[in-house]
Structure 1
Amino acid sequence: MPYLRPVPAEQSAPHPGEEPGRDAGARPVPGHDPRVQWAVSLAVVAAGLLTIRPMGTSGRGLAVAVLFAVNSAALLARRLPEHKVPPRLALAWLTLGVVAAAALIGLSSSGTGYLFAFFLAGHIGYRLDTRPALVLAGVCSLLCGAVLYLRLGPGHELLPWMFGLTTGAPVLVGIVNRTQRQAVRAAIDAAESAERAARAEARTAVLTERGRIARDVHDVLAHSLAGINMQLELVDALIDTGDLEKVREAHATAHALVKESLRQAQWTVHALREDVLPLRETLASMLASSGHRDALTVTGTVRELPAPAVQNLLRIAQEALTNAARHAPGAAVDAELAFAPASAALRIRNRPATRPAAPGAGSGMGLIGMRERVALLGGTLTAGPVTEGPHQGDWQVEAVIPQ
């Protein structure tokens, strides 16, 4: 089968007889070049015009001329698009053509009339379903054989009228061509379905990526801007009291939040890049920039993780560190990266706050975003206080990614 290029879903498969460019999305069926078929049809008409005799304006010549015109019209009508000719009309037109071809063979003195019968029989197999095509082709053979037999009469050689019986044989070629056309259409439909599926998958991927970017933007901006806004509102409230010391303190806090936001923006830019950052080194750098140097512990056999897993674990770590700084200011933070044979786990723990947390609530989207990231990787996320063991009383975020 020749190479078939998938085409947009808006374009429909061609019908037999359609020419390229005639209708939107029309495509020629492989092996059926319309230009070749037009040339063959016109060649048959031209040969008949030059050889079929008698042809005139009265008597037998007029009858031959009319039959020749009917045969030519029936032959040239093969180029009519299938979807524009109802099946019943096609059957009537081809039946008329078969009868006209048999009559032309009987009245003319040239064997060129056979060509009309042969080509019409072939098109019968291509245009009609198998059963009516075989019936009409049989009728064509019987009519042409009978016309020759009756014209020649008993006692003559059998070959001429037996040859007339073969005029319906090209129907088999037409049926084969129709089967090939249907197979090509099925292949085109399959290619279009695959193209539509690929487009749907690409759209899903785009929407997924938009969701990921939205989570990244939230992680960087929502918490930081909310904290900065809260401190600035506090500054406005303290100015009216005249307590300059508290004003400076709130201003310093807002300034620190701005620096933290810039640092988080840098992490986000790295995470959104196509290249993969080293997980262990990036986690250590992230902890150090948050004031928790040497807080990372790695257990198990270290191995490289897929890029999506690395990016999402880094974003989860960033969100967990942001929450720890907001809700447990001054608390020590530990991070553990554990590699197991079938999974990788990231744990971020912070101890209780050493100073009061700033008033105000977050957007509530941080934990939701972390859960979405882990769900995309088929993993699990737990977040809450540690109730037993050496870390009892700490707050822990744990993300487990299957491998």
Structure 2
Amino acid sequence: MPAVRSGRPADAAGRAGGRATPTQWALTVGVIVAGVVTIRPLDTTGRGLAVALLLLVNCALMAVRLLFPGRFSAGWMVAGVLAAAALMGVADAGTAYLFAFFLTGWSGYRLDTRPALALAAACSLLCGGALYLGSGPERDAASLIVGFAVGAPVLAGMARRSRNQATRAVIAAAEASEAAARAEARTAVLTERGRIARDIHDVLAHALAGVNMQLELVDALLDTGDLDKVRQATGTAHGLVKDSLRQAQWTVHALREDALPLVESLAAMLESSGHRNALTVTGTVRELPAQVTQGLLRIAQESLTNAARHAPGAEVGARLEYAAGSTTLMIVNGPATERATEGWGSGMGLIGMRERVALLEGTVTTGPVATGADRGGWRVEAVIPG
């Protein structure tokens, strides 16, 4: 255990400024009163004066120990040991040993183990020697036992210190656990906010951008008087609105963590985008967690939106593969057959796609198709473990 400069353990330094309890004050006053009443000789001359001065010193040290605990360092304890041993050697009778008892107990509480044991051993030897030399020819075993036993309270002080350390450790662990729980809750809130932001983007940004593009087209067509194309554009806008309503329902289900039928939802999404029988399913179909299902649906939605934006008129195919340890969704579109219209879309789709896959601990690969029938198109492949 690390020690501070005063010789106290580091944890004791934190207690240095603490106030004494009423019990400690009561015991201290009791020891002082008992000493004044019982210790003899007590006079103003000769040996009685020496006893009175030593008693005053011991009483002062007892009071300073409670009034200024932070300043009662190892040096003060050594002085207290010397004063207590001297008082026991000079006094003929009384409770002088109580000062040594309390001092060694306090050292066990305030000092590291080795310094506390060393101080207690020194106190026992000094007090035992003082009683042995001061008792004269009538030396008895009882006085020697009392003298050598004054170091025993150090064990009680050490036990109290260990108990307080354990209590503080439990409190610190509880506080750390509470702080970790608060941090985890905040992380969960931020994650959920990010998820909702992605859902809002997927539901609103794409639909509104598509509807806006169709309305701009309608406005341009009105000047030409081509009502058939106007009806076609408004029909497309109505389809986008219906599709966005369907996606809003998916989002509500996801936020409520309802189970979504992945295969049926993918097929309906492709069909509503104008791509019939475009879904291929391999492997054994199984129910996936709601977060995985929602993530795959959002990836498919983003892929279809990007295909409609950058490769209008292109064929789109989707493949859903259920493997033993993962689920893979691949969306591939061919090259554009119509002129692409730029200038709509938020640009956050691919970012949101990567964020979704990262939250599911999966991988996503995007890039152009270099070979095969879809050469010149675009491929999105997401692999989700589990």
TMscore range, shorter length:
0.7 to 0.9
Given candidates 321, 333, 341, the residue that maps to 1:338 is 321
Contact persistence 1:105–1:113 (CA under 8 A): yes
For 1:34-58, what per-residue CA distance to the aligned partner results, in whole angstroms no more than 9, with x for missing partners? Answer: 5654554444345445544555777
Q: How far 1:251 moved relative to its partner?
A: 4.9
Does the aligned pair in 2 maintain the 1:18–1:79 contact within 8 Å? no
Deviation at 1:314, TM superposition (A): 1.9
1:102 touches 1:143 (CA, 8 Å); kept in 2? yes
Q: 1:92 aligns with which of 72, 75, 84?
A: 75
Match for 1:44 among 1, 7, 31?
31
Identify if the C-alpha distance between structure 1 residues 78 and 314 changes in structure 2 by more than 3 Å, giving closer, same or farther: farther
1:389 positional shift: 5.0
1:80 is displaced (CA, Å) by 6.0
Partner Cα distance (1:155, 1:97) in 2: 28
Match of 2:61 among 49, 69, 74: 74
Query: What residue ranges of structure 2 are gaps of 5+ in the alignment?
Result: 1-10
Deviation at 1:345, TM superposition (A): 0.7
In the alignment, which of 215, 230, 253 is matched to residue 198 of structure 2? 215
- Within 5 A, what are the aligned runs for 1:254-265? 254-265=237-248
Check 1:323–1:177 CA distance in 2 against 1; reply closer, same or farther (3 A cut): same
Q: Would you say 1:318 and 2:301 are equivalent positions?
A: yes
Deviates more, 1:120-129 or 1:317-326: 317-326
Map of 1:15 onto structure 2: 14
Query: What is the letter of the counterpart of residue 126 of structure 1?
Result: Y
Contact 1:52 1:108 in 2 (8 A): yes
Listed one character per residue, the Cα deviations across residues 95-121 of structure 1 (whole Å, up to 9, x for unaligned) are 332233234334545442212211111
The question of 1:373 aligning with 2:356 is answered: yes
Deviations, residues 132-175 of structure 1 (Å, cap 9, x unaligned): 33333233223322332232114532431343122123223333
Q: How far apart in 2 are the matches of 1:262 and 1:132?
A: 77
Instruction: Please state whether the residue corresponding to 2:203 is helix, strand or coil.
Output: helix
Deviations 1:199-226 (A, max 9, x none): 4444444443333333222222332333
Mapped pair 1:156 → 2:139: yes
* Correspondence for 1:224 among 197, 201, 207: 207
Q: Secondary structure at the match of 1:324?
A: helix
Aligned counterparts of 1:68 and 1:282: Cα–Cα separation in 2: 92
Tell me: CA distance 1:130–1:333, structure 2 relative to 1, closer, same or farther (3 Å): same
Task: Indicate yes or no: 2:102 matched with 1:119.
Answer: yes
Displacement of 1:253 after TM fit?
4.2
Output the amino acid matched with 1:102. A
Identity %: 63
- Could you state the TM-score of these two structures normalised by the residue count of structure 1? 0.75
Task: Give the match for residue 249 of structure 2.
Answer: 266
| Residue matched to 1:8 | none
Q: Are the aligned partners of 1:331 and 1:353 in contact in 2 as well (CA < 8 Å)?
A: yes
- The whole-number CA distance in structure 2 between the counterparts of 1:327 and 1:267 is 25
Match for residue 25 of structure 1? none
1:67 Cα deviation from its structure 2 partner: 4.2
8 Å CA contact retained: 1:271, 1:314: no
- What letter matches 1:400 in structure 2? V
Contact persistence 1:13–1:189 (CA under 8 A):
no
Letter in 1 for 2:280: T
Q: Secondary structure at the match of 2:14?
A: coil
> In structure 2, how many angstroms separate the alpha carbons of the residues matched to 1:289 and 1:58?
113
Write the distance in 1 (CA, Å) between the matches of 2:268 and 2:13.
61
The residue number in structure 1 matching 2:380 is 397
CA contact (8 A) 2:97 2:146 kept: no
1:289–1:254: structure 2 CA closer, same or farther, 3 Å change rule?
closer
Task: Mark the CA change 1:232 to 1:52 in structure 2 (over 3 Å): closer, same or farther.
Answer: farther
> Aligned partner of 2:105: which letter?
G
Q: How many residue pairs are counted as aligned between the two chains?
A: 375
Question: CA RMSD of the aligned region, Å?
Answer: 3.9
| Structure 2 CA distance for partners of 1:372 and 1:166, relative to 1, 3 Å | same
**Closer, same or farther: CA 384–243 of 1 in aligned 2, 3 Å:** farther
- Using the alignment, how far apart are the partners of 1:13 and 1:192 within structure 2? 20
- In the alignment, the residues of structure 1 paired with residue 67 and residue 214 of structure 2 have an alpha-carbon distance, to the nearest angstrom, of 78
130 and 207 in structure 1: CA distance in 2 versus 1, 3 angstrom threshold:
same
Counterpart Cα distance in 1 of 2:14 and 2:113? 18
Distance across 2 between alignment mates of 1:216 and 1:369 = 9
